[in-house]
Structure 1
Amino acid sequence: MYKGIIFDIDGVLVNSEKFYMKRRMDFFKSINIKPGSSDINDFVGSNATKIWEVLVPEDSQKREELKEIYLTEYEQNNPIDFKKYANEDLKFVIESLYSSNIKVSIASAGSVKNIEKFINDTGVKKYVDFYLSGEELKENKPDPEIYIKASDKMNIKRESLLVVEDSVLGIKSAKRAGLKVVALKPQDNYSIDQSEADLKIDKLRDLLSIVFN
């Protein structure tokens, strides 16, 4: 039986990708600038640095200026309600793992602020052993650093750990760290190449049959 689960947030515990995409597009519309891409598949599971390289691909100075405005003003004025967008199986799955003494941690490419908002909005703080943000580390996903540090911190043998991811970069990061990966099928209408994952599930609650099998 597995003794620890490391979760990604966006696209796994929260169906947030479409919200983030709309917020980005609304921002560019508000300043009357055409973004470098309006295809959600160019952004799913990515981190802030890569996202803005896609949104403003050619002018690095302009990119940093717009990124600063977006992160410090627009995003703050248009926050996501994680409770509203939470996966419908979130509480059931987290509580089931917790009651069976299976450690739960979070490894997200997002900011610490976003992770803390998620655990507070959804009420899962007491179930989460710890969390790591890719923005705190030298390298973000797909680099394996975040999952190496998370697995070391859990103090559980890697063969007894499972990672739950959805994105190409997240899956690659966990696999490079030598961990077994379960990929959750996109809950919204977009596609992701999850071919590198060890296992795939249609619903978050399907994870429990893997963990307790």
Structure 2
Amino acid sequence: MKKAVIFDMDGVIIQSEIFYLKRRELFFEEQGIIVSDDFQQNTIGSNPKAMFEALFPNDLVKQQEMLVAFANFRKDFKVNYSEMLTDHIQEVLTWLKSNGYKVGLASAGEYHSLIHVLKDTKLTEFFDVVVSGADMPKSKPAPDVYLAAAKKLGVDPSECVAIEDSTYGIQAATSAGIDCLALKPKDFVINQSQATEIMLSLQEIPNWLTR
């Protein structure tokens, strides 16, 4: 029996990934960096630190330079997260809390950014714990963030289900021994073959938990 549901943020709670992909493309263009479509797709769900580590694996100085440059670049992009909320997220979170499930957030994003989004979308009250992959030894696809979330929730990983969308996120959840429901994107294709099950809507979560 599942006791907890752990959500990813981008592409699950908010539909932000198209925005983030376009922002990254503009940044790479400005920096004169050429990246493949596969790289862009594979790093969906990763934070900037992990992205630049993958892009410049043997150059710590370059990684740090790019982190600073990207942080400055994205200051010019204003985002209204309330307009990005995924359909049915509020009703599903309400159902989970009403039925006694613990709810966590395990995202690659930085902690202060995650809290900002939850406050902006008025979802803070639904989450018992918030864990950032940026604070872990290794971010997704490593299992660290999910193992930490399960521990903070006081449940065994086998008693959790993860709600994900990205390839890295699915790998992180399954590597932690957590069943993973993947929300299929509407606007682009992601490899979700390692998920326990693929959903077309978050409304499928209650049915999956109670069947």
Shift of 1:18: 0.7
Which segments of 5 or more consecutive residues in structure 1 lack a partner in the other structure? none
CA 1:33/1:186 → structure 2, altered by over 3 Å: closer, same or farther?
same
Moved more, 90-99 or 36-45: 36-45
Task: Provide the rounded CA distance (Å) in 2 between the counterparts of 1:109 and 1:63.
Answer: 17
Match of 2:171 in 1: 172
Tell me if the contact between 2:184 and 2:200 (Cα under 8 Å) persists in the aligned partners. Answer: yes
Listed as ranges, the matches of 1:13-92 within 5 Å are 13-29=13-29, 31=30, 33-37=32-36, 40-53=40-53, 61-71=61-71, 73-92=72-91
Task: Provide the rounded CA distance (Å) in 2 between the counterparts of 1:57 and 1:130.
Answer: 31
Task: Provide the rounded CA distance (Å) in 2 between the counterparts of 1:10 and 1:174.
Answer: 15
- What TM-score, normalized by structure 1, do the two folds share? 0.88
Task: Provide the rounded CA distance (Å) in 2 between the counterparts of 1:82 and 1:19.
Answer: 11
Task: Provide the rounded CA distance (Å) in 2 between the counterparts of 1:197 and 1:35.
Answer: 30
Shift of 1:207: 1.1
- SS of the residue corresponding to residue 105 of structure 1 reads strand
Tell me if the contact between 2:50 and 2:139 (Cα under 8 Å) persists in the aligned partners. Answer: no
User: Amino acid of the residue matched to residue 195 of structure 1?
Assistant: S
Task: Provide the rounded CA distance (Å) in 2 between the counterparts of 1:173 and 1:61.
Answer: 27
Tell me if the contact between 1:112 and 1:133 (Cα under 8 Å) persists in the aligned partners. Answer: yes
Match of 1:143 in 2: 142
- What TM-score, normalized by structure 2, do the two folds share? 0.89
RMSD: 2.1
Match of 1:211 in 2: 209
Tell me if the contact between 1:82 and 1:117 (Cα under 8 Å) persists in the aligned partners. Answer: no
Shift of 1:36: 2.4
Shift of 1:132: 0.2
CA 1:34/1:156 → structure 2, altered by over 3 Å: closer, same or farther?
closer
CA 1:32/1:95 → structure 2, altered by over 3 Å: closer, same or farther?
same
Tell me if the contact between 2:15 and 2:86 (Cα under 8 Å) persists in the aligned partners. Answer: yes
Corresponding pairs, count: 210
Which segments of 5 or more consecutive residues in structure 2 lack a partner in the other structure? none
Q: 2:196 aligns with which of 179, 195, 198?
A: 198
Tell me if the contact between 2:46 and 2:139 (Cα under 8 Å) persists in the aligned partners. Answer: no
Match of 2:151 in 1: 152
Percent identity over paired residues: 31
Match of 1:113 in 2: 112
Shift of 1:23: 1.2
